Amino acid sequence: MLYNLNFPNSKSRRYYAETLQFAFMLYCKQPSEYLLARQKLMLPSKATLFRVFGKDIAAWKELLLSKSSSLPVFLRFRELYPYTDEELREQCHFCIGIDAITGKLWKKSGHDDQIEDLFALYLMPLDCKGPSICLHIIQHTNGLASGIMSEILDYIATVQKTLNVPVFTTDGDKSYDFVYQIFFHHWYSLVTGFDGLVEVLKSAKFQDLKIIFIADVVHIGKNLRTLLIFPNKLIFLQPYDPTLHVDITKIRLFSKLGDAINNCDKSTTLNDKYPVTIFNVQTVKDMLDNNCYTEATWLLPLALWFEGVRNTILPVEARLSMFKLAFFILHFFLRLQDVVGVTDRLPNIETPDHRLKFK
């Protein structure tokens, strides 16, 4: 790059293979940021990158779109999993995660103009060594999974022929709600304790698939955060007492959350980190120290869940205790709601000032 400083004309520049690989990695990480970096650094243009790596990109796209039962992408990384085929099948457990991503760059590379979003399916080892990889991509005309649920389920069945996949984790798309409701009504009527829930989930099935669908905790946190940061919403703690609702002003006043609770920009890259900041044991402690028991109780279950997942320094028993406590808090309020006979969402009402939405 220092050598290329002598050549203002980009056509006169030359790049070593290592520089091209480094630049391509930067571009794949964040295309828009890469274009900004080119204004200051003598990095290769996008056209140069695609001229060098275009064939590789096309080959990988073909692999990612493949529905083959041989799992061609997994085979490319197979040597990074230090197990025999039998050990991989019998001893290793994987989770498949799905998330919708924009298809803007995909369309620019010559694919169907109707494609707006891509659904990326990631394979993540749960109890064995090996990398997490993007296993498959499903093209779609929008970012809602409702139109491709059958395709998603078919691909899960394909993967399960080769690998042990007991868990499928989703984003916050409401298209998956009907799946969650089936699981919820099943275990809710059977389970009274945390250990019972674990046993039920071990044998969970959806249609012909032995698998449990879960929403990942980050997306749950993002959905709950929207209830706090956007106006005209009331969050009730108890279904029989309308005076006990979460006061957002108290959370702002007694905790140092900054943009995590004030930034309403939906596109910010920090949206995945903000929920961890809000639903935090320190935030709960701040609420308790200031006698904000309603706010602390509402924040506590997800705060315990985040802490149990993220704090690897704590003993396993302590982290499991956090999960159990979160479960019992939620279970109590669900039973209470059921006994009182209210729905999870109350009807909106009109007030002289504005319209209120209840949750």
Considering only residues 354 and 247, tell me which one the structure prediction assigns the higher pLDDT.
247
pLDDT at 326 over 80: yes
Comparing 188-192, 221-225, 229-233, 342-346, the range with the smallest average pLDDT is 342-346
Residue the block writes with tokens 């984790």: 169
pLDDT digits (tens, 9 = 90+) for 67-104: 999 999 999 999 999 999 888 888 899 999 998 887 76
Enter the pTM of the model: 0.74
pLDDT at 314 over 70: yes
CA distances from 89 to 78, 86, 320 (A): 13, 5, 27
Report the C-alpha gap between 345 and 227 in whole angstroms: 13
As a whole number, the mean pLDDT across the chain is: 82
Stretch 175-184: mean pLDDT: 80
Residue the block writes with tokens 């709960």: 284
Residue the block writes with tokens 């050990």: 87
What H or E segment, with its residue span, contains residue 167?
strand 167-170
Given CA atoms 2, 5, 6, 7 in this order, what sign does their dihedral have? Answer: positive
Which pLDDT does position 181 carry in this prediction?
79
**DSSP code per residue over 30-95:** -HHHHHHHTTTS-PPPHHHHHHHHHHHHHHHHHHHH---TT-HHHHHTGGGS-S-HHHHHHT--EE
Output helix, strand, coil percentages for the chain, rounded to the nearest 5.
Answer: 55, 15, 35
Which pLDDT does position 357 carry in this prediction?
47
pLDDT digits (tens, 9 = 90+) for 244-279: 888 888 999 999 888 888 887 766 667 778 899 999
Q: Where are the domains of the chain?
A: 3-61, 66-215, 218-358
Given CA atoms 139, 142, 144, 150 in this order, what sign does their dihedral have? Answer: negative
Question: Please, which pLDDT band fits residue 200 given cuts at 50, 70 and 90?
Answer: confident
CA angle, residues 184, 304, 295, in degrees to nearest 5: 90
Report the C-alpha gap between 339 and 341 in whole angstroms: 5
pLDDT digits (tens, 9 = 90+) for 44-61: 888 888 889 989 988 998
pLDDT at 36 over 90: no
Which pLDDT does position 358 carry in this prediction?
44
Given CA atoms 125, 191, 200, 315 in this order, what sign does their dihedral have? Answer: positive
Comparing 180-184, 231-235, 237-241, the range with the smallest average pLDDT is 237-241
On whether the 66-215 domain is CATH 1.25.40, my answer is: no
Strands 117-125 and 212-215: unpaired
Considering only residues 127 and 7, tell me which one the structure prediction assigns the higher pLDDT.
127
Comparing 28-32, 133-137, 152-156, 182-186, the range with the smallest average pLDDT is 182-186
What share of the chain has pLDDT > 90, as a percent?
31
pLDDT digits (tens, 9 = 90+) for 122-148: 999 998 999 999 999 998 887 788 888
Instruction: For 85-122, give one letter per residue: b (16+ CB within 10 A) or e.
Output: eeebeeebebbbbbbbeebeebeeeeeeeeebbbbbbb
Comparing 25-34, 254-263, 346-355, the range with the smallest average pLDDT is 346-355
Which amino acid makes up residue 254?
A: F
Which pLDDT does position 113 carry in this prediction?
62
Which pLDDT does position 356 carry in this prediction?
47
Cα-flanking dihedrals φ and ψ of residue 214, to 5°? -135, 150
Which pLDDT does position 183 carry in this prediction?
76
Which pLDDT does position 336 carry in this prediction?
78
Which pLDDT does position 76 carry in this prediction?
93
Which pLDDT does position 135 carry in this prediction?
94
Which pLDDT does position 351 carry in this prediction?
52
What share of the chain has pLDDT > 70, as a percent?
87
Stretch 184-210: mean pLDDT: 74
